[in-house]
Amino acid sequence: MIEILDHYDRRTAAGLLARASLALQSGEGGEKSIVDNEAAVREALIAQARLKLGIKPDDEGPEVIEQIGSYFDDESDRLAGNPHTRAAFERLITRGDLPSDLYDIRIIPNVQNLYGKKFERERVFIERTIRTPTKEQHFGPPASENEPYLISLFAREFKTPYPLRDFTMLVAGKRMLERTLEIHQAWRLYGSKVNLDNPQDLVELLRRFADVYGADILVDGQRGRFFLTAKKVERTTRLDIPAGREIMVTHFGQTNPQSGGRYAALVVAIDLGLYRATLDKLDYKDVS
């Protein structure tokens, strides 16, 4: 254990390790501090790691950064390996209380394919949105089978020199008990296209996005573009989708922990051509 972490409980210590690793790799350690003087604590963690690994203070090579990051990961795993700590982590994940910068982020191929050659740039926006969101919403254990389960939504505003090109990134992922966040949806919402004013919550933002860019599908006998939950997801030729249009239907597979019943959550059908046309028109290289 790194000595400086002895002053903190295991959860906080794991958070500090994760945020120090993030700061080491990207220069960002999160906008919200979890302890007093967190920046100084992170610097001390990195300095102690260098000392333990025999790395010079001025060595900033990529292989060194990776080595220190791996060391932090090992220390974090050691913390989580304690049975009591592991159970505590699982409770936090189930409730949606685990800080988002403690998750490993895994983005499913559908999202990667959506952005194609521009995906690596988009990955940066997705990860920044998750690590340092301006808004977030988490679904914990469902009271009924009509509620999402273990799903988190994150939003972050991104600015450009031109307000018309500013956008809000909206990301939805499924929380896994091994501290993985599996990302199924990641969309840019531009204020000139989607109403971003005073949504009730982030699900409402997703609904508004689907209203603008969606295509009707048939779900549980109901026609629509967005469904909070559904027993069965079905696409049919009765939906009048024009030939040649690329429609992506995406949802989260759910299993109710009490009944074992299977259902879907956050079902959306998006016209990718329409969405990509907005990106082509409004994207700008200088984003902060």
**Residue 203 corresponds to which tokens in the numbers above?**
């699900």
Are 256 and 123 members of one domain? Answer: yes
pLDDT bin (cut points 50, 70, 90) of residue 181 is very high
Model pLDDT, residue 96:
87
Answer yes or no: is 94 within a domain: no
- Tell me, yes or no, whether 130 and 77 share the same domain: no
Q: How many domains does the chain have?
A: 2
**pLDDT computed for residue 142 by the predictor:** 76
Check whether 238 has a pLDDT greater than 60. no
The string of pLDDT tens digits covering residues 248-284 is 999 999 887 777 788 899 999 999 999 999 999 999 9
Does one domain contain both 158 and 252?
yes
Are 266 and 220 members of one domain?
yes
Instruction: State the number of CA atoms in the 13 A half-sphere of 35 facing the CB.
Output: 20
Q: Of 70-74, 167-171, 213-217, where does mean pLDDT reach its minimum? A: 70-74
CA distance 225 to 32: 35
Question: pLDDT averaged over the chain?
Answer: 86
In this prediction, residues 26-31 reach a mean pLDDT of 58
Query: What pLDDT does 150 receive?
Result: 94
For 222-250, what is the mean pLDDT? 78
pTM here is 0.75
- Angle (CA) 165 213 121, round 5°: 45
- The mean pLDDT of 93-111, rounded to a whole number, is 89
Across 213-242, average pLDDT = 79
Q: Is residue 44 part of a domain?
A: yes
The span from the CA of 20 to the CA of 128, in Å, is 15
Q: Are residues 37 and 151 in the same domain?
A: no
Question: Is pLDDT of 151 > 50?
Answer: yes
Task: State whether 119 and 23 are in the same domain.
Answer: no
Domain end call among 21, 46, 81: 81
* Torsion, CA 144, CA 148, CA 149, CA 151, rounded to 10: -160
Q: 177, 36, 5: which is closest to 96 by C-alpha?
A: 177
DSSP of 224-263, one letter per residue?
Answer: ESEEEEES-EE--GGG-PPTT--EEEEEEEEE-TTT--EE
Query: What local confidence, expressed as pLDDT, does residue 23 receive?
Result: 75
Q: Which amino acid is at 210?
A: A
Query: Which pLDDT value is given to residue 146?
Result: 75
**Rounded mean pLDDT, 119-128:** 97
Most confident of 55-59, 138-142, 165-169: 165-169
Which has the closest alpha carbon to 46: 32, 56, 34? Answer: 56
Q: Percent of the chain scored above 90 by pLDDT?
A: 47
142 domain residue, yes or no: yes
Question: 205, 120, 215, 220: which is closest to 171 by C-alpha?
Answer: 205
In the predicted model, what is the mean pLDDT of residues 168-188?
Answer: 95
Q: Is the pLDDT of residue 4 over 70?
A: yes
Q: Is the dihedral of CA 151, 153, 154, 159 positive or negative?
A: positive
pLDDT given at position 237? 40
**So what's the pLDDT on residue 85?**
60
Q: Does 89 map to a domain?
A: no
Q: Do 147 and 52 fall into the same domain?
A: no
What domain range is 277 assigned to? 104-282
User: Are 251 and 147 members of one domain?
Assistant: yes
In contact, 2 and 21? CB cutoff 8 Å: no
